[in-house]
Structure 1
Amino acid sequence: MNDKLAARSGGKCELSGDNGELVVYSVGPENYGAKEINIAKKLADQLSGVEPFAADDWRFLPEAMWSEVPAVQVLSWRLLNHLKNESWAADALDIIYLDDERLAWAKAAPLELGTNETLEQHKDANGNILQHGDSVVLTKTLDVKGSSISAKLGTVVRNIRLVEGNPEQIEGRVEGQLIVILTKYLRKQ
């Protein structure tokens, strides 16, 4: 770690502010003059895929996004964008401000996490992980948009399919019609 970087960070993670083992993390791409920041090793391990990505470990981002360090702002924006399905991250994304140059930098290199990423898990209202083919029970009576069908509380939906790219939705058949259901209204059977 170079002296200038160590002095700027004060020996702390520039994202979370935590003390502990730090590593130098490069916020690319190179054509934006990849800037280096100090981050906690456990966070770097999640970004590289050495450790599973855990959304709750990043709850400090709404504070980090206001850093005066451009690379911290850019990485915070990328992480918040990646975590936008989390309500706290979506709220932070609504208020974050990056000037045009930093926003272009943030968008120039999408966040690519390692292969152990766990963010895309579909979970029912109780936090149980859902998989293709599971059976679920509705925990609320739901009116199906664009149809006269009303899916009643307690209805069992068998052989569900997970909606790729949106961990808050599954597909299933109710009264013979394929519908999309929000996972927060389900419990695994």
Structure 2
Amino acid sequence: MLEEQLLQRSENKCELCQSGETLKLYAVPPQSANNVDNCIIVCDTCLSQIEKNKETEKNHWRCLTTSMWSELAAVQVVSWRMLNRLSTEGWAVDNLDMMYLDDETLAWAKAAAEDENDEIIEIHKDCNGSPLLAGDSIVLTKSLDVKGSTLNAKLGTVVKNIRLVENNTDQIEGKIEGQVIVILTKYVRKQG
């Protein structure tokens, strides 16, 4: 039986958080037939949050720091999806940046995210790849001429309390010399 094989593989522990409490089979969507390669064993806590039956407990998912390195593609897929869901957390973004999925596994992870209407949240990043959040302070890494103005924002200018431009991760807004301007993220470095 499939569930018995998975319990043996997982040593009777959740393949995400290692809990031994109330384990269940989870068929990682999308798939045409359940098998050892596309199913995992998870605890009730993980399952209820994966399926969005309970509010996501952010600290519970710190277990992904370990499970994302699993050799099992199904565990990698669920880890990737949950890290994307938690992409407002700095530690989750850091893990996503480190995580490597082969093309086939990444396509699987993205396919179900689209099927479930989960948004894969795009993250604003500075020139070094560090995540930018609303309210951060940044430093310009290039002198910039501001279109429609005589203003020239000099290299090294600090811009405090930035705003993120919705639907465009390449742009942020910031105030320089009292004027709100749009700045390309490739020309900024997060301060601090």
Alignment-mate amino acid for residue 75 of structure 1: V
Give the TM-score normalised by the residue count of structure 2. Answer: 0.58
1:7 pairs with 2:8 = yes
Local SS of the residue matching 2:16: coil
The counterpart of 1:92, out of the listed 95, 101, 111, is 95
The residue aligned with 1:66 is 69
Local SS of the residue matching 2:27: strand
How far 1:84 moved relative to its partner?
1.6
Alignment-mate amino acid for residue 59 of structure 1: R
Question: Structure 1 52/62 Cα, relative in aligned 2: closer, same or farther at 3 Å?
Answer: same
Alignment-mate amino acid for residue 25 of structure 1: Y
Identity %: 42
Report 1:70-81 matches (<5 A). 70-81=73-84
Unaligned runs of 5+ in 1: 115-139, 141-145, 147-162, 166-174, 178-189
| Contact 2:14-2:43 within 8 A present in 1 as well | yes
| Contact 2:76-2:101 within 8 A present in 1 as well | yes
How far 1:113 moved relative to its partner?
8.9
Unaligned runs of 5+ in 2: 119-136, 138-143, 145-164, 168-177, 181-192
How far 1:21 moved relative to its partner?
1.0
| Contact 1:48-1:113 within 8 A present in 2 as well | no
Local SS of the residue matching 2:113: coil
How far 1:54 moved relative to its partner?
1.7
Report 1:1-189 matches (<5 A). 2-30=3-31, 35-110=38-113, 112=116
Question: Structure 1 164/24 Cα, relative in aligned 2: closer, same or farther at 3 Å?
Answer: farther
| Contact 1:13-1:22 within 8 A present in 2 as well | yes
Give CA-to-partner distance per residue, 1:22-79, whole Å, 9 cap, x none: 1111111115967111111011112223321121110111110011111001110111
Between Structure 1 and Structure 2, how many residues are aligned? 161
| Contact 2:26-2:42 within 8 A present in 1 as well | yes
Instruction: State the alpha-carbon separation in 1 of the partners of residues 52 and 90 from structure 2.
Output: 24
| Contact 1:32-1:105 within 8 A present in 2 as well | no
Give the TM-score normalised by the residue count of structure 1. Answer: 0.59
Runs of 4 or more, structure 1, over 3 Å off, are 31-34, 111-114
